[in-house]
């Protein structure tokens, strides 16, 4: 429950502007009380150069509120332009990355806070004593100076953020962090190539109950519930998989007569939404990079160099998974006992390397096979993956390279093009036998 709440707050664009606006409202109330002289006279505590008259303060607050509203509208318009660029040139799925970026949200929040403060402080001017100097106007000036500094930072941030190389690097870093978390997760049990569920036990399928993508799976809680219920769970789903109401999330095996159905508790360990998230699903970040690759080689954009860079980064990312083979992660009742002494309480299916290779490169092969440079980049990326792959995964990669070879058009199967392609293929064959 807390994890779901954290996700909603993390990917919301209203949270930071909301609390910044609330802080500005409280500051306006406090400054209004100080200006009214109810606690003390500002002239006795605050230096004179920080105080202004009521009429001048009203003029300053009116000007700053109008200026901040204009800057807010301009910033919002700039944000819309960036979102349009992201959606049309890169991928609709990277729009959310910019919307939830800290710099974007902070800029909108600061402008909204400055506007709210100026308006509220202006409305409190009527409570000030006649002829008494006030501090609200100078606080408004300080806020608008902060907004100007933030605006310059935002312009610089947008100019850097919109560059495709920076976008790819951020996606790569995000996926890399997720892959490291996944490898840490594999340390919680024993990896086995095969797993046979318990025989002769009752079987219970836990349905999803709703449709959408699996965003998060709380593996620790699943294991804890299985231990408490004295049963064995088999989970053959990974994050990013699309499920429906009748899809089985996991299977429970038990041999108890009065077994209490824990389906609702198990179902609470899954977060399902209308789109995947990068928090556990590193393949979603790879998919975004893949979509940028496809847009780059489209006739409307025709930017093969960006596509080649994307393919290299995809190869680097998947190379960190190349030593993992398809199998099961087995978590036992006693984590410190041997495999013979402790029964399995949870079996989690691991990623399928063959499917990952197919999902990451098949579409690029289909749409980019006419371009020799793109095909060479694909084979080079596969070679990068092979450098760290197990022998079984190297065989999978070579099968996919043969698939690429069958897809090549006739004009690339002769002359200089064929010689370069065969050279890259030969290098991959050398890696296979290494």
Of 230, 261, 227, 264, nearest to 249 (Cα)? Answer: 264
On whether the CB atoms of residues 233 and 208 are closer than 8 A, the answer is no
3-class DSSP assignment, residue 342: coil
pLDDT recorded at residue 1:
52
179 in any annotated domain: no
Pull the structure tokens for residue 420. Answer: 């370069």
pLDDT recorded at residue 11:
59
pLDDT higher than 70, residue 282: yes
pLDDT higher than 70, residue 339: no
Pull the structure tokens for residue 344. Answer: 């399995």
Of 369, 296, 353, nearest to 320 (Cα)? Answer: 353
Residues 155 and 23 in one domain: yes
267 in any annotated domain: no
Q: What is the 3-state secondary structure (H, E, C) of 278-303?
A: CCCCHHHHHHHHHHHHHHHCCCCCCC
pLDDT recorded at residue 318:
92
List C-alpha distances in Å: 110 to 69, 150, 167, 304, 392.
11, 8, 25, 40, 54
pLDDT recorded at residue 150:
87
33 in any annotated domain: yes
Q: Which of 143, 162, 181 is the last residue of a domain?
A: 162
Residues 9 and 150 in one domain: yes
258 in any annotated domain: no
Q: Among 8-12, 138-142, 312-316, 395-399, name the one with the lowest average pLDDT.
A: 8-12
On whether the CB atoms of residues 374 and 293 are closer than 8 A, the answer is no
pLDDT recorded at residue 128:
46
253 in any annotated domain: no
Kind of pairing between the strands at 248-254 and 270-273: unpaired
More confident residue, 264 or 88: 264
Q: Which of 131, 162, 193 is the last residue of a domain?
A: 162
Residues 155 and 292 in one domain: no
What percent of the chain shows pLDDT beyond 90?
11
Q: Which of 127, 146, 162 is the last residue of a domain?
A: 162
Mean pLDDT of all residues belonging to the chain: 82
Pull the structure tokens for residue 284. Answer: 């979603």
pLDDT for 373-404, tens place per residue?
999 999 999 999 999 899 999 999 999 999 99
Per the DSSP assignment, residues forming a β-bridge with 192 are 328
> Can you give the residue range of the structural domain that contains 372?
286-320+352-432
182 in any annotated domain: no
pTM of the model: 0.78
pLDDT recorded at residue 138:
81
User: How many angstroms separate the first and last alpha carbons of the chain?
Assistant: 49
pLDDT for 55-75, tens place per residue?
777 888 888 888 888 888 888
pLDDT for 207-237, tens place per residue?
888 898 988 888 888 888 888 888 888 988 8
pLDDT higher than 90, residue 85: no
Q: What's the number of domains the chain is made of? A: 2
pLDDT higher than 80, residue 429: yes
Q: What is the 3-state secondary structure (H, E, C) of 113-181?
A: HHHHHHHHHHHHHHHCCCCCCECHHHHHHHHHHHHHHHHHHHHHHHHHHCCHHHHHHHHHHHHHHHHHH
Pull the structure tokens for residue 371. Answer: 């371009």
pLDDT recorded at residue 319:
92
pLDDT higher than 60, residue 340: no
Q: What is the mean pLDDT of residues 193-216?
A: 85
Q: What is the mean pLDDT of residues 232-256?
A: 86
376 in any annotated domain: yes
50 in any annotated domain: yes
Q: What is the mean pLDDT of residues 149-174?
A: 84
Q: What is the mean pLDDT of residues 326-348?
A: 75
* Alpha carbons 326 and 193: distance in angstroms, whole number: 7
């Amino acid at each position: 429950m807390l994890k779901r709440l954290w996700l909603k707050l993390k990917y919301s664009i209203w949270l930071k502007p909301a609390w910044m606006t609330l802080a500005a409202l409280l500051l306006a109330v406090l400054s209004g009380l100080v200006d009214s002289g109810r606690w003390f006279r500002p002239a006795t505590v605050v230096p004179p150069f920080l105080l202004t008259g009521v009429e001048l303060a009203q003029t300053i607050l009116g000007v700053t509120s109008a200026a901040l509203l204009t800057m807010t509208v301009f910033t919002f318009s700039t944000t819309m332009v960036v979102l349009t660029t992201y959606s049309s040139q890169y991928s609709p799925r990277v729009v959310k990355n910019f919307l939830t970026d800290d710099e974007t949200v902070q800029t909108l929040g600061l402008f909204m806070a400055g506007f709210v403060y100026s308006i509220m402080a202006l409305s409190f001017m009527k409570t000030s004593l006649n002829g008494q100097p006030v501090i609200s106007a100078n606080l408004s000036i300080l806020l608008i100076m902060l907004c100007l500094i933030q605006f310059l930072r935002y312009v610089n941030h947008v100019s850097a953020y919109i560059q495709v190389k920076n976008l790819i690097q951020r996606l790569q870093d995000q996926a890399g962090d997720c892959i490291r978390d996944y490898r840490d997760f594999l340390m919680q049990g024993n990896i086995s190539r095969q797993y046979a569920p318990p025989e002769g036990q009752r079987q219970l399928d836990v349905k999803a109950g709703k449709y959408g993508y699996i965003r998060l799976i709380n593996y620790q809680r699943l294991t804890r519930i299985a231990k408490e219920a004295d049963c064995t769970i088999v989970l053959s789903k990974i994050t990013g998989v699309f499920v429906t109401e009748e899809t089985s999330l996991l299977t429970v095996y038990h041999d108890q007569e009065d077994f209490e159905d824990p389906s609702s508790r198990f179902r609470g360990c899954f977060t399902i939404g209308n789109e995947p998230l990068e928090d556990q699903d590193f393949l979603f970040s790879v998919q975004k990079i893949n979509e940028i690759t496809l847009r780059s080689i489209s006739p409307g954009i025709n930017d093969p160099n960006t596509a080649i860079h994307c393919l290299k980064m995809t190869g680097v990312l998947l190379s960190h998974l190349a030593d993992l083979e398809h199998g099961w992660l087995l978590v036992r009742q006693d984590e410190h006992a041997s495999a013979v002494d402790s029964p399995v309480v949870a079996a989690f299916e691991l990623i399928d390397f063959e499917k990952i290779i197919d999902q990451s490169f098949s579409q690029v092969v289909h749409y980019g096979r006419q371009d020799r440079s793109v095909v060479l980049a694909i084979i080079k990326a596969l070679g990068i993956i092979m450098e760290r792959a197990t022998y079984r995964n190297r065989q999978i990669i070579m099968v996919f390279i043969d698939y690429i070879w069958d897809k090549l058009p006739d004009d690339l199967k002769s002359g200089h093009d064929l010689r370069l392609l065969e050279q890259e293929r030969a290098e991959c064959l050398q890696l296979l036998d290494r």
